[in-house]
Structure 1
Amino acid sequence: MTSKIIFENLKIYAYHGVLPEEKILGTYYILNVEIHADLQKPAESDDLKDTINYAEINDILHAEMAISSKLLEHVCGRIIKNIKNNFPQIAFIKVKLTKTSPPMRGEMDGVSVEMESNFS
């Protein structure tokens, strides 16, 4: 059985970017994370030790977002690596990271980078 754990529109204030003012002022980022794993055992046992603790995933997301990076790709890569290292039973991870106020001309909701890794 393949199942998904999905974080939808997690909003975090952080300081990523190439420009010096981005490291000082910061902005909101939106994280969407999709994780695939076999969750049949916890579906039957109702025991936290049998599943992927999404509170721990949330802690990883916040910790990685707190580390300032120039590139969103770097942040996404670190998130994927850290989640997989902590939960080796994961078969697939997709991370979409959106900078809500990029310092560019034009009106937009944001600019996103999406990365995914298949471990099966």
Structure 2
Amino acid sequence: MGAILLQNIKVYAYHGCLVEEKKIGSDYRVDLKIKADLSKSSVSDKLADTVDYVHLNYIIKEEMAIRSKLLEHVAERILNRILKELKLITKVTIKVSKINPPIGGNVEMVTIKRVKKR
């Protein structure tokens, strides 16, 4: 078993319930941890035997570009797509953070975390 982490993926997107968020957009941070059997690739040294983190990043960027009102919704789409497209993965943990959320206070970011297993 093993894990691959993609940390601090920066994305500009238009998620949120407020009209302003739909128009202006905001900065987001995505952190991803996947669990998979990496034993074969550790011996073979072949990309085909592991989880391609370029593919993971592509899924995140593509799904973040689709507007959602809630961070939970975009996270769920990312989780489902990762498990559908990358069969070696047994567990995915994702954190989606909105940087400087418009909540009437000095808040650096708000984060949701979701976990999904095969």
TM-score, normalisation: structure 2: 0.97
Which structure 2 segments of 5+ residues have no match? none
Q: CA RMSD in A?
A: 0.7
How many Å apart are 1:103 and its aligned residue?
Answer: 1.0
Q: What SS is found at the alignment partner of 2:100?
A: coil
Distance in 1 separating the partners of 2:89 and 2:45: 19
* 2:70 partner letter: L
Which structure 1 segments of 5+ residues have no match? none
Whether contact under 8 Å (2:14, 2:21) holds in the other structure is yes
> Which residues in structure 2 correspond to 1:26-37 (within 5 Å)?
26-37=25-36
Identity fraction in percent:
41
Distance in 1 separating the partners of 2:35 and 2:22: 33
Q: What residue in structure 2 maps to residue 15 of structure 1? A: 14
Aligned: 1:102 with 2:109: no
Aligned residues: 118
How many Å apart are 1:118 and its aligned residue?
Answer: 2.1
After TM superposition, the runs of 4+ consecutive aligned structure 1 residues lying more than 6 A away are none
TM-score, normalisation: structure 1: 0.96
* 1:5 partner letter: I
Q: Deviations over 1:13-66 (max 9, x none)?
A: 000000111011001000000000000000000001111111011100000000
